Chain A
Amino acid sequence: MKLSCLQENLDRGLNVVGRAVAIRTTLPITNNVLLATDQSRLKLAATNLEMAISCWIGAKVEEEGAITVPARLLSEFISSLPSEKVDIGLSPQTKTLGLKCARFEARISGVDAKDFPPIPKVEEGIATKVEVEALRQGIAHVVFAAATEESRPVLTGVNAEFDGDLLTLAAADGFRLAVYKLPLAQPVSQKTEVIIPARTLAELNRLVAEQEEAVEITVNPDKGQALFRLKDIELVSQLIQGTFPNYAQLIPKSYNTRAVISVADFLRATKTASIFARDGSGIVRLVVAPGGEMTPGKVIVSARSEEIGDDVGEIDATVEGEEAKIAFNGKYLTDVLSVLHEAQVALETTNPSSPGVIRPVGVDNYLHVVMPMFVQW
């Protein structure tokens, strides 16, 4: 293997695939990054067995070949180089990768590319396309609601339902549920539902940040893997097997109280209250008070901590229905309020022990359901 490429391209490529390098693993080779010539390009790839990222960069290939070397070592070395041409050569007998850039020269011992875990090929199956911005918003609005705790594996993923030209993303961790609908740029041939690991989507969201072209999504026929193809980047993810809860039945059909409030005010009041709720389990109490003839309605956001103190904040609100009291985990409120772009949000509640619903005002493609905490009032 003999080739040359630009330092900044190699650096960027290594950063892209670096997200998939295994950190703690029983399979040491997954700490490595694969370098392989692919026609007139250099292919970089890394995998942690749940997800694999491949990236192609332009290169002048003189001799074909492939090798794997420790990802972190190579990445740190390349990023410290001046932005000039890098000459790469492999000595096949010693499996040593030689790198030369400006007046720096390095040799890195590698492991045979044949030992690298094969990256699943996803070539046929259900294929579609999504615009980058819509996908980014979709992921951002739901991914935080997935479970981080692994006792129910399906909840660590995001349920993706492809139906016609609509993609519905849903995530739930047993205490909250986020559902976001976005258009598909290319309709699917048949309705398909898969569970994508939330970690994969979080990585995908970082990768698409620098993209402009629509993202191609392919789910293989046995629904074992999904491929996300970006410009010069491919991400292949294992899909979580299992049945996602039927979340439609968890969404309250009605409410007793509905308050429309400013997202920014609500977020500030919640964050302020959370400071006082930190010592306990983050309980933030909301009192929704309807207005009188002359006075506007309001939402009173408070928190108290035994031995420490308490805090009360008020937000103007347009309240419909009766007075309501409900307590939430403050983190659940800040999580959802932080991703909303809309100016106003509607909070719908039924009683102190039934789920509350948060909907941005003016759009109807997102809703968030949060289970309250049961407290003494």
Chain B
Amino acid sequence: MPIRVLDPQVVARIAAGEVVERPASVVKELVENSLDAGSSQISVEVRGGGVSLIRVTDNGAGIPPGEVGLAFDRYATSKVENLDDLESISSLGFRGEALPSITAVAQIDMITCAAGDKAGTYLDLRDGAIANRGSQGRSQGTTVTVRNLFRKIPARLKFLKSVATENGHIANVVSQYALAFPEIKFSLFLDERMALRTPGNGRLIDSIVEVYGAEVAENMIELRGEAVAPSPRVAGMVGLPKVSRSGRGYLSFFVNRRWVNSRLLARAVEEAYHGLLMVGKHPVAIINISLPAQEVDVNIHPTKSEVKFGNERAVFSAVHRAVRQALAEQITVPRVEEIAVAYESPSGPTQAFPLPAQVHPASPAPWAPEVPTSSLPVLRVLGQLGNSYIIAEGPDGLYLIDQHAAHERVQFEKIEQQRSRREIEVQGLLEPMTLEVSPRQEAVLRSHYQDLAEFGFAIEPFGDRTFLVRAVPALIYNKDWAGMLRELLDSLSEGDKGDWAEGVAASMACHSAVRAGQTLTDVEMRELVRQLEQAAAPHTCPHGRPTMIHLSSEQLKREFGRT
């Protein structure tokens, strides 16, 4: 076949494939246009998973009659004028690709009316060309209706999932923008059923109530990023650890209110929750990062769902710090659930005890840079319960401390501290021990035995599936460290190094910690509690389980009917 320039229709369809991946992409493009038009109300109507019909109605600026036709030409936009504008994009759209891309894969009609126009303009496009044009009455704003999406591309149509799945994606897009723009009234109808309606009163929490429900909303705390650094500014809300979710779907990030996917930001948030969530749980977060347009590049992908930051580290630490700080102010010891609810509970949130300002002389651990955390009040040990829990008295009531979890936390921080100072304590083996491993374990160990040196394991390969251990961390020298190594190799895959190191530290902490069922003397208990008081994150063990529960004096009084 000779080389030739492609037919414009073919070009259009190829290009459309990038922008319009599925019905939700159409919704996204249209909603972004409505937002750029300065609307205060946006209504989305969807039928048949978006394939039959998508209709987006807004009360934005509208398009003057003379420009309507142009809107559907490729690379036609009102949002960018020259090259310099590209450097500082403040609108959501700018490429001039959305409408032409959609017309390439669907039937589309539009009624629009700009301010000051007497009548609106009606436009009907088929196969990318204007089929009908006329005048129609309409108040200011634009309505775009997309029909028969992908009918001409059976392959794409075949790849679409069920109506419910596509509806889910669409609902997610609208929800995300509803969260990003609480001042705008959003409504979403899926097959004539109202799926979402936000009040548009400018309060994020009200949007959260509508999107995630009251239960999540109740447990959201506000980020106050301004205080720390002027740029980038981090704002939004994050959920308390108790409303954690098992997927990352509840992490919403906006950069200058553009909805983006960012692994960097997800990691910043998850690290801020480090040790507060159980394994496999993820936080709820709605975070907007405002920074000068020059410091962020959104022009990476046609759908603009990815962004590049000029200074990734600054963004990462700003988000991490903001979230960690908000959490530190809120996280308290989990309290004992009340047994009886016959008495009226006191209104308003009760803080378990005032958190004293943290004064931590030690150099901070590497995973929580200069972040203030909550500490424990001074506790007086009363005794041991079931050889597993330490009972202690604090300024406000009773504390039950899980001895294993608490010691695990103490040991974990000790390990991380020693490691950060490169002073891990190592005990040599009198006789090197051979460690035989399974083929899978071998693969992991081969790629990581040098990393283990950081923790005090001196291990070297010694023939087939055999390694020689010459030294072990002093912290676990008298424990079953060989068993621990095997367990570790089984539980950890060849994942990235960050996770690995944390896994090793947690595993060492777990193995060196006292067990449940071990009788502790008074001195040992006091020492453990003292060390826990000094821990940076005393409330949870490295796996995220609580180290203690608290029964406040108030609660005790109530339970005994003394109030």
Contacts and interface: CB of A to CB of B under 8 A. Distances in A.
Contact of B430 (A283, A369, A374): A369
B431 interface: yes
A250 B474 contact: no
Contacts of A353: 428
B431 A250 contact: yes
Contacts of A280: 425, 474
A141 interface: no
Given A307-B362, A329-B474, A373 B427 contact: yes
Contacts of A370: 430
B480 A151 contact: yes
A176 interface: yes
A365 interface: no
B480 A373 contact: no
B423 interface: yes
- Which of B422, B430, B474, B478 has the most CB atoms of chain A within a 10 A radius of its CB? B430
Contacts of B479: 149
A355 interface: yes
A174 B474 contact: no
Contacts of A250: 430-431
A230 interface: no
B430 A177 contact: yes
B477 interface: yes
Interface string A129-173: 000000000000000000011110000000000000000000011
Contacts of A369: 430
A198 B264 CA distance: 56
Contacts of A173: 478
A375 interface: yes
A208 interface: no
A175 interface: yes
Nearest to B479: A149
Given A151-B480, A307-B362, A373-B474, A174 B425 contact: no
A281 interface: yes
Given A176-B430, A373-B426, A373-B427, A281 B475 contact: yes
Interface in A18-77: none
Nearest to A245: B431
Contacts of A283: 425, 474
Contacts of A149: 478-480
Contacts of A174: 429-431, 433
A307 B361 contact: yes
Interface string B482-512: 1100000000000000000000000000000
A371 B362 contact: no
Interface string A341-370: 000000000000101000000000000011
A281 B433 contact: no
A371 to B, nearest CB: 4
A259 B439 CA distance: 48
B558 to A, nearest CB: 41
Contacts of A373: 425-428, 474
B425 A175 contact: no
- Which of A175, A372, A375 has the most CB atoms of chain B within a 10 A radius of its CB? A175
Contacts, number: 68
B29 to A, nearest CB: 57
Interface residues of B, number: 23
A306 interface: yes
A376 interface: yes
B405 interface: no
Contacts of A281: 425, 427, 474-475, 477
B471 interface: yes
Nearest to A280: B425
A175 B428 contact: yes
Given A151-B482, A175-B429, A374 B362 contact: no
A116 to B, nearest CB: 29
B430 A355 contact: yes
A358 to B, nearest CB: 13
B478 A148 contact: yes
Contacts of B429: 174-175, 371
Nearest to B480: A151
A371 B480 contact: no
Nearest to A329: B427
Contacts of B477: 175, 281, 329
A61 B78 CA distance: 116
Nearest to B428: A371
B430 A172 contact: yes
Given A149-B480, A175-B477, A307-B361, A375 B425 contact: yes
A369 B426 CA distance: 17
A306 B360 CA distance: 13
A83 B471 CA distance: 57
B471 A374 contact: yes
A188 to B, nearest CB: 28
B433 to A, nearest CB: 7
Given A174-B433, A306-B362, A307-B361, A371 B478 contact: no
A265 to B, nearest CB: 25
Contacts of B426: 373-375
A34 B552 CA distance: 53
Given A306-B362, A329-B474, A372 B428 contact: yes
Contacts of A372: 428
Interface in B389-422: 417, 421-422
A307 B417 CA distance: 12
A250 B433 CA distance: 13
A355 B422 CA distance: 23
Nearest to B425: A281
A278 to B, nearest CB: 9
B531 to A, nearest CB: 9
A175 B428 CA distance: 7
A282 B474 CA distance: 9
A347 B480 CA distance: 30
A333 B478 CA distance: 16
A298 B179 CA distance: 73
Contact of A175 (B421, B423, B427, B480): B427
- Which of B474, B479, B483 has the most CB atoms of chain A within a 10 A radius of its CB? B474
B361 A371 contact: no
6 contacts: A148-B478, A149-B479, A149-B480, A174-B431, A282-B474, A355-B428
Interface of A: 148-151, 172-177, 245, 250, 280-283, 306-307, 329, 353, 355, 369-376
| CB-based closest 9 A-B pairs | A281-B474, A374-B426, A371-B428, A151-B480, A281-B425, A371-B430, A373-B427, A250-B430, A250-B431
Given A149-B478, A369-B430, A373-B426, 9 more contacts: A172-B430, A175-B428, A280-B474, A281-B427, A281-B475, A282-B474, A372-B428, A374-B427, A374-B428
